[in-house]
Chains A and B, each alone.
Chain A
Amino acid sequence: MSINKFNILKFNHHKNRNISLILGVLFFSVGIIDFYLNNYFDKNITYFLPRIINFFTPLIFGVIGLHLIRIEFSGIKILDSLNKNINTTNFNAALSVSIILLIIFGLPPLLNWLILDANFAGDSKEACTGGGACWVYIKVWFNRFMYGMYPNAEQWRVNLTFIAVLVFMAAGFFAPIRLRNYLSLYYVLILPIISFILIYFIVSGGSFGLVWVETGAWGGLSLTFMVSFFSLIFCFPLGMMLALGRRSNLPIVKYSSLSFIEFWRGVPLITVLFMSAVMFPMFLPDGTYVDKLIRVVVAITLFEAAYTAEVIRGGLQALPRGQYDAAKSLGMGYWRMHVFVILPQALKLVIPGIANTFLALIKDTPLIFVVGLLELVGMLNLAKTNPKWLGFSMEGYVFAGIIFWIICYSMSKYSQNLELKYKTDR
Chain B
Amino acid sequence: MKLKKILPQLLTLLFIILVFGFFTMNAQENMGARGLEFGFGFLKTQASFDIQFSLIDYDGSHTYARAYLVGLLNTLLVAFIGIILATLLGAVVGVARLSPNYLIRKTASFYIEFFRNIPLLLQIFFWYFAALRALPMLEDAPMLLNSSFMTIKGLYAPAPIWTNFDVFFTTIIAAMIIIFFFVRYAKKKQEQEGKRLPVFFISLAIFIFLPLLTFLIGGVDLSWSYPVIRQMSQSSYTFDGGLKIPPELIALTLALTLYTATFIAENVRAGIQGIGKGQKEAAASIGLTPNQVLKLVIMPQALRIIIPPTTNQYLNLTKNSSLAAAIAYPDLVLVFAGTAMMQTGRAIEIVGITMATYLTISLCISLLMNWYNKRIAIQEK
Contacts and interface: CB of A to CB of B under 8 A. Distances in A.
Interface of A: 85-86, 88, 92, 95-96, 99-100, 250-253, 256, 263, 265-271, 274-275, 278-279, 281-286, 362-367, 369-370, 377, 380-381, 384, 393-394, 397, 400-401, 404-405, 408-409, 412
Contacts of A100: 103
5 contacts: A86-B101, A86-B103, A286-B29, A363-B119, A366-B119
Contact of B100 (A88, A268, A362, A364): A88
Contact of B337 (A95, A274, A286): A274
B126 interface: yes
A384 B101 contact: no
- Chain A interface, DSSP helix/strand/loop, else mixed: helix
Contact of A268 (B114, B348, B358): B358
A278 B31 CA distance: 13
Of A252, A275, A282, which is in contact with the most chain B CB atoms at under 10 Å from its CB?
Answer: A282
B3 interface: no
Nearest to B9: A252
Contact of A377 (B5, B116, B122): B122
Interface in B98-138: 99-104, 107, 113-114, 116-122, 125-126, 129-130, 133
B164 interface: no
B101 A96 contact: yes
A284 B5 CA distance: 33
Given A282-B31, A405-B114, A369 B119 contact: no
Interface in B142-168: none
B322 A270 contact: yes
B8 A279 contact: no
B104 A250 contact: no
B351 interface: yes
B2 to A, nearest CB: 12
Interface string B21-45: 0110011011101000000000000
B62 interface: no
B187 interface: no
A274 B333 contact: yes
Nearest to B318: A268
A270 B323 CA distance: 7
Interface string B309-329: 000000000011011011000
Given A96-B104, A366-B122, A377-B121, A271 B351 contact: yes
Nearest to A278: B347
A364 B359 CA distance: 19
Given A271-B355, A283-B26, A253 B122 contact: no
A401 B30 CA distance: 43
